[in-house]
Amino acid sequence: MDFTTVQGVDVPAVGLGTWRLTGESCREAVHTALDVGYRHIDTAQAYGNERQVGNALRDSNVDRDEVFLATKLETKNRGYDDVLRSTEESLAKLGTDYVDLLLIHHPNITTPLRDTLAAMNELVDSGRVRHLGVSNFDVDGLDNARRLSEHGILTNQVQYNPYWSQGELLDYCRIHDVLLTAYSPLAHGGVLEDPILEDIGTRHDKSPAQVAIRWLLQQPNVVTVPKATSRDHLEANLDVFDFELSDAEMDRIRQPSKLRALSGMVKSRLRELA
């Protein structure tokens, strides 16, 4: 496993995203991921699967301190007391004394950001949380969070893939040594039949998904948390460190199109409902 380092913190470059994974399928996916070498697991209060993630961690042969574990505050849990209470509940479900990363899941205009971050910083002081982050924040929101947080902001987790541009945010992250954690790196499956990624993948004996993940990881300050459940897909998503894309290939892969990204999301949702 390769790592990306920001602010002196080593973060495993590829993690497992668990959005829409529930019940036994979630526990099995996390357990398999740990077994094949994942050391970065991403969950959230809103996903409703923290207990299953915790069960997988407990049942694995991997020591807790080898895993970079992240969870996120649900929108309703942004007040000072709610942050403290809900994080304790998350820790109990996860079966751990601490999380490596606690994020604000979405911007929330109804609760002052200062109050949310004050409680999160207290959790760092108490050792219940190692690092703080935000998710789905724009540049201004990230900048404001950084100014308000005593312990800083390690990452902003956002959608980022060949179809969904994050150029301005990534420039900011590089300047200020902040990590960009890319979710939906495969554009909800949209990249899997992309002819450009197929062509480049053929040259490197890699799949379009592996090319898309590699494209992200070759960019400074970027890690990614693709979702997968089968052992084959989990292993394939990790098998991206033995080749390198050229500058020309990197430029060719970037195809900003929110329409294509949203189309992939709709198709993915329809597949799940089928």
Q: What is the pLDDT of residues 178-223, one digit of tens each?
A: 999 999 999 999 999 999 999 999 999 999 999 999 999 999 999 9
Measured CA to CA, the distance from residue 38 to residue 12 in angstroms comes to 8
Question: What's the mean pLDDT in 136-159?
Answer: 98
- Looking at residue 268, what is its pLDDT? 52
pTM: 0.94
Domain boundaries, the chain: 3-273
Q: What is the torsion angle, in degrees rounded to the nearest 10, for the CA atoms of residue 18, residue 27, residue 128 and residue 111?
A: 40
Annotation says 47 is catalytic: yes
pLDDT at 255: 87
The arithmetic mean of pLDDT across residues 43-61, rounded, is 98
The whole-angstrom separation of Cα 23 and Cα 199 is 37
Task: Write down the catalytic residue from 47, 98, 172, 183.
Answer: 47
- Give strand ranges (E) for 43-191: 68-73, 99-104, 129-135, 155-159, 179-183
Can you tell me the distance from the alpha carbon of 253 to that of 125, in angstroms, rounded to the nearest whole number? 42
**Over 70: is that where the pLDDT of 272 sits?**
no
Residue with tokens 């693709």: 226
Residue 1 has a pLDDT of 79
CATH number belonging to the domain at 3-273, selected among 3.20.20.100, 3.30.750.24, 3.30.450.20, 1.10.1060.10: 3.20.20.100
pLDDT at 274: 54
Q: Using 50, 70 and 90 to split pLDDT, how confident is the model at 70?
A: very high
pLDDT of res. 256? 80
pLDDT 10s digits, 161-190 = 999 999 999 999 999 999 999 999 999 999
Determine the Cα–Cα distance for residues 10 and 167; give it in Å rounded to an integer.
23
Handedness of CA 227, 170, 131, 106 (dihedral sign): negative
Using only the alpha carbons of the chain, give its radius of gyration.
18
Give the pLDDT score at 149.
98
Mean pLDDT of 103-122: 96
